């Protein structure tokens, strides 16, 4: 089972203290850091992970550009595309991100995901 964000931060704080802080203290510090809004970055490394993100998710691609996911209506159904704006003009599918010269590049950082309805 993976550690909770609280436990993970507590371990980082304990290691940074040269392993001398008491666990109760490291947990208090971890709670304070989480309460201040810290969240570990979510990194996307594959097109499968990129495709799994919901529409209206925002990422920061490896080239430093932000992209937003939206649906593009086609005759054969909807397709998720990524663009630097809100329209399908200049939009790309997930495979474009891994093209050697033209793609924005992976890994990408997830900046925002819409709340589940």
- Our count of domains for the chain comes to 2
Phi, psi dihedral angles at 10 (to 5 degrees): -60, -40
Give mean pLDDT, residues 28-40.
92
Same domain, 26 and 81: no
Same domain, 23 and 54: no
Rounded CA-CA distance 64/89 in Å is 20
Does position 62 have pLDDT exceeding 90, yes or no? no
Same domain, 58 and 94: yes
Does position 47 have pLDDT exceeding 60, yes or no? yes
Domain that holds residue 62: 42-112
Q: What percent of the chain has pLDDT over 70?
A: 85
Indicate the pTM of the whole model: 0.67
Whether 104 is covered by a domain: the verdict is yes
Whether 117 is covered by a domain: the verdict is no
pLDDT of residue 89: 59
């Amino acid at each position: 089972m993976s550690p909770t964000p609280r436990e993970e931060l507590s371990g980082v704080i304990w290691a940074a203290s040269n392993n001398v802080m008491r666990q109760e203290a490291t947990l208090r510090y971890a709670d304070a850091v989480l309460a201040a809004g810290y969240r570990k970055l979510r990194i996307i490394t594959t097109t499968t992970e990129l495709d799994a993100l919901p529409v209206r998710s925002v990422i920061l691609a490896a080239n430093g550009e932000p992209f937003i996911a939206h649906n593009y209506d086609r005759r054969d159904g909807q397709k998720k595309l990524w663009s630097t704006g809100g329209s399908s003009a200049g939009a790309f599918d997930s495979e474009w991100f891994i093209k050697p010269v033209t793609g924005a590049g992976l890994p990408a950082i997830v900046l925002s995901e819409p709340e589940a309805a």
